[in-house]
Structure 1
Amino acid sequence: MAQRFCSIGIYKSNDTDVYLIDSGNDKDAGRKVRKILSENGWNLKGIINTHSNADHIGGNKYLQQQTGCKIFADGIEAAFTKYPLLEPSFLYGGYPCKDLRHKFLLASESDVNEITDSDFPKELEVIPLHGHFFDMIGIRTPDDVVFLADCISSESTLDKYQITFIYDIAEYLNTLDKVESMEAAMFVPAHSDVTRDITGIVQLNRQKVFDISKDIQSILKTPMCFEELLKLLFDEYGLVMNFEQYVLVGSTVRSYLAWLKDNDKIRAVFTDNQLMWSSL
């Protein structure tokens, strides 16, 4: 995936004060938002980051410097937003080389407050949406619009990229169940179309998880190490390997392996100083 773009939400708490829900990819996104705020005479009171992926926090620093607004995030997401080097380090599993230290995976640092801060707008409902990332949240506004962050991908994204990033498969499936049962006037996913009916796209995302897990189990009928498995999955889905795809897809495949192993679907054995995976 060469670039990631996310929807930026605006919540008006009164005629002049507004809060952003995420801030976009980078400083340029921040500039565009600043222009919109100025044109409408809006005062930016705060930014609510649904999670700490670089495409959701990239505009934080610029907007905070320009407006003095507060930034809010939850739990581990607050730590990653304050110390964004954690994202490429976590994905790579060590100190990231230069190929991973860029705005796609590494946002600028910003000053962050927990969502428990007294200045967080209390009229907003915080919805835990764990799975895609550590402590990701969604937001429900008083007019019943639900911002869903990255818990679902569009059908076109699923078709194009196949293995979309998931940190915790079990929690992700729980979140999909939660979202499927929700009612709202409007749903706003960060990477899919705004919709009043979320059921169909939730089902597509759930089925994709099951399809990928079945493919992994099928491939692992022949025992192999992780790198062999990753190559075969890239070949199977027509993906092209580069540093970004290696860490994003690779991290996700490791999460699938952990989930399948914990559910007694596959086994892991150390043989000749190699970790070998195989189906049961």
Structure 2
Amino acid sequence: MYELIQVSERSYYIQSPAKMGLVKLNDTEVCLIDSGNDKDAGRKVRKLLDANGWHLTAIYNTHSNADHIGGNKYLQGQTGCKIYAPGIECDFTQHPVLEPAFLYGGCPPKDLRHKFLMAQESDVQCLSKDHLPDGFETIPLPGHFFDMVGFRTPDDVVFLADCLSSRETLDKYQIGFIYDIKEYLSTLEMVKTLKAKIFVPAHAEATEHVAELAQYNIDKVNEVAGHILESCSKPLCFEALLQKLFTDYRLTMNFEQYVLVGSTVRSYLSWLKDAGELNANFENNLLLWQRA
């Protein structure tokens, strides 16, 4: 774990729970794509930098989930590097309590204020084209989170952040976290058409061919949507539906899974309602969901 793996002349990734990208800007300066899930991840990155005699000039965050920005504060304090994040992700990175608050839908209890859902604050600027090194491109990847982006490096390596998961992860957890189902599916359809020397997803193996895995992710979304529709053949309130999904998919409920899967299921309900496939009715002061 935290092995530095070279995939092209200038581009590397760091093998970790959420893969980080590292790109050489010249003989001595590098930038990171994401920073890992906590201070300890930052320390391990710092050791890699020191071992190679590299100076970190900037961190480019793909999005603001805690496992991608957790090393920001430590690395910035150690190196003085700049940090950039796109759109709304910049606000969440500046104010990390927004992530558990968003997931919970209110002031989050202490059970949700931990490093897996709430990173430390860091001094971050909103990403623009002017902040990118020469030859870098951003690739909009909305859906998983608000304004998530990927990056194409000058030597044609594409870092795909969290826009898709490995088959093993999907088969184990079934319902992957998604903020906007419609945008997520559109992003995956776009990713299927991309060409690159190599693709590096944060939660799947690096690969030269990504279309098949993107389709597997699409199929899983459609399967979950179909299961929700079938479950709502009779009126169900949200809590009863969530319980049924956890039971049917053999998932284990805890506070973290309650908010991650729960938020995702709410996103499915919004998408299906807007598509005219679900109705939402209020009865006896309960919001009930039923297949249209």
| 2:85 aligned with 1:85 | no
1:238 alignment counterpart: 250
Q: Is the 8 A contact 1:144 1:186 kept in 2?
A: yes
Q: How does 1:98-177 map to 2 (within 5 A)?
A: 98-116=110-128, 118-177=130-189
- For 1:32, give the aligned amino acid: K
Q: How does 1:1-280 map to 2 (within 5 A)?
A: 5-116=17-128, 118-280=130-292
Gaps of 5+ in 2: 1-15
TM-score, L = length of structure 2: 0.94
RMSD across aligned positions (CA): 0.9
Q: Is the 8 A contact 2:157 2:200 kept in 1?
A: yes
Q: Is the 8 A contact 2:70 2:120 kept in 1?
A: yes
- 2:164 is paired with a residue of what secondary structure? coil
TM-score, L = length of structure 1: 0.98
How many residues end up aligned between the 2 structures? 277
- Structure 1 CA distance for aligned equivalents of residues 196 and 123 of structure 2: 32
Q: Is the 8 A contact 1:72 1:114 kept in 2?
A: yes
Deviation at 1:120, TM superposition (A): 3.1
The superposition leaves residues 213-256 of structure 1 with CA deviations (integer Å, 9 ceiling, x where unpaired) of: 00000000010100000000000000000000000000000000
- Structure 2 CA distance for aligned equivalents of residues 255 and 50 of structure 1: 21
- 1:18 is paired with a residue of what secondary structure? strand
Deviation at 1:55, TM superposition (A): 0.1
- For 1:130, give the aligned amino acid: P
Whose strand proportion is higher, 1 or 2?
A: 2
- 1:152 is paired with a residue of what secondary structure? strand
- Structure 2 CA distance for aligned equivalents of residues 227 and 122 of structure 1: 50
- For 1:12, give the aligned amino acid: K
Deviation at 1:83, TM superposition (A): 0.4
Q: Is the 8 A contact 1:50 1:136 kept in 2?
A: yes
Runs (4+) off by over 6 Å: none
Q: Is the 8 A contact 2:198 2:208 kept in 1?
A: yes
- 1:14 is paired with a residue of what secondary structure? coil
Deviation at 1:142, TM superposition (A): 0.7
- Structure 2 CA distance for aligned equivalents of residues 104 and 142 of structure 1: 32
- 2:163 is paired with a residue of what secondary structure? coil
Deviation at 1:116, TM superposition (A): 1.6
- For 2:155, give the aligned amino acid: D
- Structure 2 CA distance for aligned equivalents of residues 266 and 117 of structure 1: 40
Deviation at 1:122, TM superposition (A): 3.8
The 1:273/1:215 distance shift into structure 2, 3 A limit, reads same
Q: Is the 8 A contact 1:154 1:193 kept in 2?
A: yes
- 2:37 is paired with a residue of what secondary structure? coil
- Structure 2 CA distance for aligned equivalents of residues 163 and 118 of structure 1: 37
- 1:6 is paired with a residue of what secondary structure? coil
- For 1:242, give the aligned amino acid: N
The 1:39/1:186 distance shift into structure 2, 3 A limit, reads same
Q: Is the 8 A contact 1:72 1:120 kept in 2?
A: no
- Structure 2 CA distance for aligned equivalents of residues 254 and 94 of structure 1: 15
